[in-house]
Structure 1
Amino acid sequence: MFFMEIVVAASAVYLGKKYLAKKRKSRRISPVAHEANAPGKELSCTACEDEIGDRGKQANHYLKASSVALGLTALSRLFYPALVPVGLLAIVYSAFPFYESGFRAFFKTRRIEVGILDVILVTGMLATGHLFVSAATIWLLSLSEKLLIETENDSRRKLVDVFSEQVRTVWVRTKGVELEIPFEELKVGDTVVVNAGESIPVDGMVVDGVATVDQHALTGESRPVERTLEDKVLASTILLSGRLGIRVERTGQDTIAARIGNILNNTADFTASVQARGMETANAYTPPTLALGAITLPILGPNAAMTILLSGLGYNMRLVSPISVLNYLKILSGEGILIKDGRALEQLGRVDTVVFDKTGTLTLDRPHVGNIHIRAGSGISEHALLRYAASAEYRQTHPIAMAILDAARQREIDLPPIGEAAYEIGYGIRVKVDGVLVRVGSTRFMEMEGIPIPTEMRELQEQGLEEGYSLICVAIDGKLGGMLELHPTLRPEVKGILHGLKQRGISLYIISGDHERPTRRLATELGIDHYFAETLPENKADLIGQLQREGKYVCFVGDGINDSIALKKANVSISIKGATTAATDTAQIILMDGTLHRLDRLFEIAGDFENNMGNNLKLSIIPGLICIGGVYLLHFGIPSGIAIYNLGLAAGVTNAMLPLKKYSESENNDDK
């Protein structure tokens, strides 16, 4: 038996060192190959995919090898003893990755990690003739690695799907003729034609046309901006009304590739984050387990020492911990919550403060009509003014038009037919309604049209700026009829979500770039005691840091490009689908339904996850303590150690799988 142990160990050391040398050589060669084949940032995505593909192939290979080893050892034990040597070779071969890990820990990092325990345990089991136990252990570890890689692949695919909603074709003007071409064929210097309702596909300069553009994806503000000759426009903004010719200054292809590459790079440590907690626990218990085994060896003999190693204090955490994490990621995905970084799921349980960005996060991108102001002496009613405004905006789709039309519907105003379908769209809109000329737009538009703005109406506008709302002018036949207030619209789910968070004892804050008065009014309406008003974008992260220095564990929820630094600074960061790319790239968690409905549910599931992980830890330690006690008090041997270990592993895996059953039953009950 001793001779077999020496042979197996020597073979493993030789093959393991040879394998390591081959890996080091491939690492030295690969950067050169990459550099020669495809320079530039576009390589990052391909390199990531290739790396995952190679790891997946290796995991598949060793899972098949360990399955063959398990089958051979079972057959040799039950029916054909002559298969023992073949089974032994299959076990040694399938154990290569674990020997590599053990050798790296011992020879390279000089740390006592669980990989060393794997080498000693597998070799010892082989040496003492427990081939089936060795094969089963290697098979379980190989299966765990396979599951982790598949989940990482699935996560990456979902992330790419989230951000890959790009136009496939664009219209280009060439020598006065408009042609539709594939997006990837677009070149710098081309003139792209964009119509109302379309996404602007490139960064560029307007060379003809006038239009209103929704830049919420970049600024977080709901009010559209006016763009005309020589103005800059940005990719991923929406042209709400009008038509523009845009000279391409930078094609979107590189930007998209960089965006997807950044997403993939952000998730490059996904597997590491999933494994980290379980591995840390397993590594922490490895030195005392080995020390106890060494102490037991001269006192009770090799069988007792091997049984001590089989006790596996905390050992199963590296298997059941990833299973729990992956199951909860699956549960959250089914709830419409995408976790980009597995560490965020663990950190949510420590959050005691949630900070919300105001515009675009607590509020919708569509405003609503507030008070209607009539110019003194105009002789027009509020009803008539709103009727004219809604008629003028009837065929428009931008947020301001939708707000005016919603107000008309709420007041059950019948819209008259439009006498002349002649629109002049840019800074405002001009249309004939009931034989009168109606103009709707900004004060700048009114001034361009030669319509004077009375002093009292300008004072109303200044008051609106101070209070945090805007005003839209409505002119009738060349004279200002009045103004409509446009207020930010609170998300309908916000009050319920905030109530649920407060019930959990979480402190709530608002960060806003608005003036003090509207921010204070919103905080009071929502029952939030703390707020920061008139905050510049670059100062948001400083405020997050200030809260952290006060000892708070902060979760920041934002959606704008100016939130990205604060999202990165926070302990946990959350954004919503449809937010700016900068926000969703940076955030660790994305609410995929584009609302805050699932935020409280996220914290509920995170708390359940922490309880599950706590039970995992108990189930990985208690059976080990029973085994150690049994060795010294009841003279347990290897069979007893194996039985206790397997019972503990079964209990741990069962606990890790329970959430799937629990939430599946909950979903079925909800459906009923």
Structure 2
Amino acid sequence: MGRIFVIDKTMKEMATVKDKKFTKATFPVEGMTCASCANSIQSMLRTREGVAEADVNFAGKTLQVAYDEREVSPAQLRETVQEIGFDILIEEKTQEELEERQAQALAKLKRKTIIAGVLALPVFVLGMFFHSAFAWGNWAMLILTAPVLLWAGQRFFVGAWLQAKHFRANMDTLVALSTGIAFVFSVFNTVYPEFFISRGLMPHVYYEAVAVIIAFILLGKYLEENAKDRSSSAIKKLMGLQPKTVRVLRGNTEMKLKVEEVQLGDRVVLLPGERVPVDGEVAAGSTYVDESMLSGEPLPVQKNPGDTLYAGTINQKGSVQLVAQKTGGETMLAHIIRLVQEAQGSKAPVQKLVDKIAGIFVPVVLVIALLTLAAWLVFGGEAYLTEALLSTISVLVIACPCALGLATPTAIMVGVGRGAENGILIKDAESLEHAHKVNAVILDKTGTITLGKPSVTDVVWAQDMAAKEQLETLFFSMEAQSEHPIAQAIYNFYKEKGQQATPLDSFNSLTGLGIEATYNGERYLAGNEKLLRQQGVALPEHLLQAARQLQEDAKTAIFFADGAQALAVFAVSDPIKPAAAEGIKAMQEAGLEIYMLTGDNRQTAEAVARQVAVAHYQAELLPTDKADFVKKLQAEGKVVAMVGDGINDAQALATADVSIAMGQGTDVAMEVAGITLMRSDLTQVAKAVKLSRATVQTIHQNLFWAFFYNVICIPVAAGVLFPFTGFLLSPMVAGAAMALSSVSVVANSLRLRAKNI
């Protein structure tokens, strides 16, 4: 893909906050283990001078930060993060390098998980079944448990200490306290068992709980990281669309280079079956190109000299040479990847509430654990010391907020990725979440419902026309000299048929009426009905009726006549897109109310609305009128999505609750919009809304189970069932349940990949 920079120096986004300019950048984060970790990084950075905003995505392992370069540098941001036990990568890294680092970290975690499991197994067997069978049993378990705790579980203790230095707590705190207390207590009873024996109590040890808890937590983290890796598969698929090497002609020498070595102006040689490596213009040759990754259209597009090729598309048949115009991070493909990465790293509004809960969750759990210990000792006395210790450890282990932290970002990552795979580019998580509430959709007419390019749709000639081919050549020659948009449509119509112009004796433009010309001494006219009537030209009844019917269908009728009578009538209109009616029907079936807005006249608006079955429409509107109409619907309590493609739609797009731009529209419209449809296909709008509904439903499911899990499991771990049933949750089971909760949330989010939208 070329070099995908952690900070793209050429694409820095500047945001004005309180009259200051802040640089927005995204950095990969290393070392996070839970949502509280993400919250700690955020809160530390937000208190740093020069930082306007900081958001950490736990699932995506990214930090999005806005900072003033005059007051703080990336290196200083890194130092702040390192103080609490984490790290951010501020150096330039390719996506391949980032993936390699992640693979190495995952391999290291896997190795520790396996070794911890191998050591924990004999400890579990000895502790559960032979705890009093061997005099040396406790010492054997101590020797086996120590490396599990101090090597495999080292990360928890280091993280907890660094957090404690700043009076903070996270998942590491819970795991370190629970396993550390159990281990120290067990070592004490192993070395000095007489202390409890002299008091009539058994010197119990809990090595098996320590070893199994750490093994389970590591296993859960490994499975979780594996699953999260799959949630970002859309990025990897997009990355795989660009070749690693390319053939370049420099002078008369053809050389093979890495794609990131291609320079602007280089002449790239492309053979059949190869992917286009950079954006560029065809300089020689012609071919057909599969652009489905951009447009979604299955049919290959013919490319001739002067046409544009985009990186990631597939050359089908011909061999061509193209001149590189955009490389590396500037290509259309790189832009798409950057949008997807930023969207996957952004936060949905609901996540802000979850972040607040996660921020206070661990301190609350610590208080509950202390209350659990106190309650057991107050109401049970020393006889229940063992139960008090086990219950306290279980509370600390089972209450890890990982599932809570993963609930929203994993669903957002999968949802954004799923959208990208379907040609729906979502700029931020807020747009994805809001879209599920939409109940009214406003469609701009030109370029959204229609193609936005006038063309000839009908040709009706007078009956028994002689010398028709010669007259067509004459008509084409006249329109070729006119600058009117309608004339351009007629010119293109004949040009595509290979028509050639012929010299005219004279040519004159008649403003508001049409054009006139002479050829071989004969006078010819082309224009509206008014022109012909003014010039006293006869209008055959069947041509006049044809013109009336065409006008009723919102088409512009252009007559062609000689000095005596009309010879033909041509219909020019902006054709409705093939999938427009289908797309509008899909939106209506999804429960959306459709409105069409246009600056065109009422007759045209009515005809288009009738053809695509839209009941509500407004005509002859200025850009400000469109924005006002959005506000009107919002005032009625509707949640409005605006779909447009032009500069004149930008104001309405910015006003709407959800803004959707057609991918072949203007850059301004796409910049304002929260969602961009790579295909100019209205069926994608319904898909975007359905995707949002499915994603939000998944988020709600994840949050429900994350909260439900803690609400139910923490009291059980504390021992509320013990007085009634004698049941006490084992810390080992608590560790397994905690790991399973995180994995289940990620797995539920991954179901979105198979969701039918």
TM-score of the aligned structures, taking structure 1 as reference length: 0.61
Which amino acid in 1 is paired with 2:172? V
Q: Counterparts of 1:254 and 1:142 in 2: how far apart (Å)?
A: 37
- Structure 1, residues 175-231: CA drift from partner, whole Å, max 9, x if none? xxxxxxx99349xxxxxxxxxxxx998xxxxxxxxxxxxxxxxxxxxxxxxxxxxxx
Call closer, same or farther: CA 1:283–1:125 in 2, change over 3 Å.
Answer: farther
Call closer, same or farther: CA 1:85–1:96 in 2, change over 3 Å.
Answer: closer
Q: Counterparts of 1:200 and 1:478 in 2: how far apart (Å)?
A: 52
Call closer, same or farther: CA 1:585–1:147 in 2, change over 3 Å.
Answer: farther
Aligned to 1:578: 664
Call closer, same or farther: CA 1:371–1:335 in 2, change over 3 Å.
Answer: closer
Does structure 1 residue 506 correspond to structure 2 residue 592? yes
Call closer, same or farther: CA 1:387–1:509 in 2, change over 3 Å.
Answer: farther
Q: Counterparts of 2:177 and 2:342 in 1: how far apart (Å)?
A: 33
Q: Counterparts of 1:442 and 1:97 in 2: how far apart (Å)?
A: 82
Counterpart among 119, 126, 132 of residue 172 in structure 2: 119
Q: Counterparts of 1:458 and 1:554 in 2: how far apart (Å)?
A: 45
Which amino acid in 2 is paired with 1:523? A
Which structure has the greater CA radius of gyration?
2
Aligned to 2:113: 70
Instruction: Give 1:227-238 correspondences, 5 Å limit.
Output: none
Which amino acid in 1 is paired with 2:433? E
* C-alpha displacement of 1:145: 6.5
Once the two structures are overlaid, the 10-residue window that deviates more, 93-102 or 502-511, is 93-102
- 2:340–2:417: 8 Å Cα contact kept in structure 1? no
* C-alpha displacement of 1:351: 0.9
Call closer, same or farther: CA 1:91–1:313 in 2, change over 3 Å.
Answer: closer
- 1:289–1:308: 8 Å Cα contact kept in structure 2? yes
Q: Counterparts of 1:297 and 1:360 in 2: how far apart (Å)?
A: 68
Counterpart among 333, 344, 347 of residue 434 in structure 2: 347
Aligned to 2:704: 618
Q: Counterparts of 2:511 and 2:308 in 1: how far apart (Å)?
A: 24
Q: Counterparts of 2:161 and 2:582 in 1: how far apart (Å)?
A: 53
Aligned to 1:231: none
Which amino acid in 2 is paired with 1:602? A
Structure with the bigger percentage of helix: 1
Does structure 1 residue 632 correspond to structure 2 residue 720? yes
Which amino acid in 2 is paired with 1:281? V
Which amino acid in 2 is paired with 1:638? P
Once the two structures are overlaid, the 10-residue window that deviates more, 460-469 or 135-144, is 460-469
Aligned to 1:133: 213
Which amino acid in 2 is paired with 1:503? E
SS of 1:184's partner is coil
SS of 2:443's partner is strand
Counterpart among 620, 632, 635 of residue 534 in structure 1: 620
Q: Counterparts of 2:689 and 2:566 in 1: how far apart (Å)?
A: 51
Instruction: Give 1:137-536 correspondences, 5 Å limit.
Output: 137=217, 140-141=220-221, 154-155=234-235, 158=238, 184-185=264-265, 257=330, 269-273=342-346, 277=350, 280-281=353-354, 283-284=356-357, 286=361, 288-300=364-376, 301-312=388-399, 315-365=402-452, 367=454, 369=456, 388-389=471-472, 400=489, 404=493, 422-423=500-501, 430=502, 446-447=515-516, 456-458=529-531, 469-472=555-558, 474=560, 481-536=567-622
Call closer, same or farther: CA 1:291–1:57 in 2, change over 3 Å.
Answer: farther
Q: Counterparts of 2:331 and 2:697 in 1: how far apart (Å)?
A: 39
- Structure 1, residues 352-402: CA drift from partner, whole Å, max 9, x if none? 11111111111124546466688xxxx7768987995499779x9x99359
SS of 1:446's partner is strand
- Aligned pairs, how many? 528
- 2:449–2:576: 8 Å Cα contact kept in structure 1? yes
Once the two structures are overlaid, the 10-residue window that deviates more, 129-138 or 547-556, is 129-138
Q: Counterparts of 1:584 and 1:469 in 2: how far apart (Å)?
A: 30
Aligned to 2:750: 657
Call closer, same or farther: CA 1:649–1:148 in 2, change over 3 Å.
Answer: closer
Q: Counterparts of 1:373 and 1:514 in 2: how far apart (Å)?
A: 25
- 1:56–1:149: 8 Å Cα contact kept in structure 2? no
- 1:327–1:660: 8 Å Cα contact kept in structure 2? yes
Call closer, same or farther: CA 1:83–1:454 in 2, change over 3 Å.
Answer: closer
SS of 1:632's partner is coil
* C-alpha displacement of 1:60: 4.4
Aligned to 1:210: none
* C-alpha displacement of 1:585: 4.1
* C-alpha displacement of 1:404: 5.0
- 2:609–2:617: 8 Å Cα contact kept in structure 1? yes
Percent identity between matched residues is 19
Call closer, same or farther: CA 1:636–1:309 in 2, change over 3 Å.
Answer: same
List runs of 5+ in structure 2 lacking aligned partners: 1-36, 50-66, 78-88, 124-140, 184-209, 243-247, 250-261, 267-278, 282-306, 310-323, 377-387, 481-486, 535-546, 723-727
- 2:634–2:640: 8 Å Cα contact kept in structure 1? yes
Call closer, same or farther: CA 1:288–1:349 in 2, change over 3 Å.
Answer: farther
Call closer, same or farther: CA 1:32–1:96 in 2, change over 3 Å.
Answer: same
- Structure 1, residues 605-630: CA drift from partner, whole Å, max 9, x if none? 43333333332223223333332342
- 2:439–2:640: 8 Å Cα contact kept in structure 1? yes
Q: Counterparts of 1:516 and 1:574 in 2: how far apart (Å)?
A: 25
SS of 1:270's partner is helix
* C-alpha displacement of 1:121: 1.4
